Amino acid sequence: MDLDTGVVELIRKAGIFAYPIILCSVVGLAIFFQKMWTLRTKKVVPENFLDHFYSLMAQGKTGEAQVYARSNDSSVSRIAVVALENAERSKGELREEIEEAGRKEANDLVRYNEGLGAVSNVSTLLGLLGTISGMIKIFRVIADKPIVNPPELAGGISEALYTTAFGLLVAIPAFIAYKYLNGRADDYIYMLEEEGRKILDYVMNTKDEAPEKKKDVKDILG
Q: pLDDT digit string (tens) for 129-142?
A: 888 887 777 666 66
Average of per-residue pLDDT across 51-68: 92
Q: What pLDDT does 154 receive?
A: 59
Rounded to 10°, the helix 75-85/47-58 angle is 20
Q: What pLDDT does 143 receive?
A: 67
**Domain spans in the chain, listed from the N-terminal domain onward:** 3-115+181-221
Give the residue from 54, 62, 64, 69 showing the smallest Cα distance to 213: 62
Question: How many distinct helices (H) and strands (E) make up the chain?
Answer: 9, 0
More confident residue, 12 or 175: 175
Residue 222 has pLDDT above 90, yes or no: no
3-state SS, residue 25: helix
Q: Is the dihedral of CA 42, 187, 67, 201 positive or negative?
A: negative
- pLDDT confidence bin for 16, thresholds 50/70/90: confident
**pTM as predicted:** 0.79
Residue 79 has pLDDT above 80, yes or no: yes
* 8 Å CB contact between 128 and 167: yes
What count of other Cβ atoms lies within 10 Å of the Cβ of residue 177?
22
What count of other Cβ atoms lies within 10 Å of the Cβ of residue 8?
12
Q: What pLDDT does 215 receive?
A: 44
Residue 198 has pLDDT above 70, yes or no: yes
Mean pLDDT of the chain, nearest integer: 84
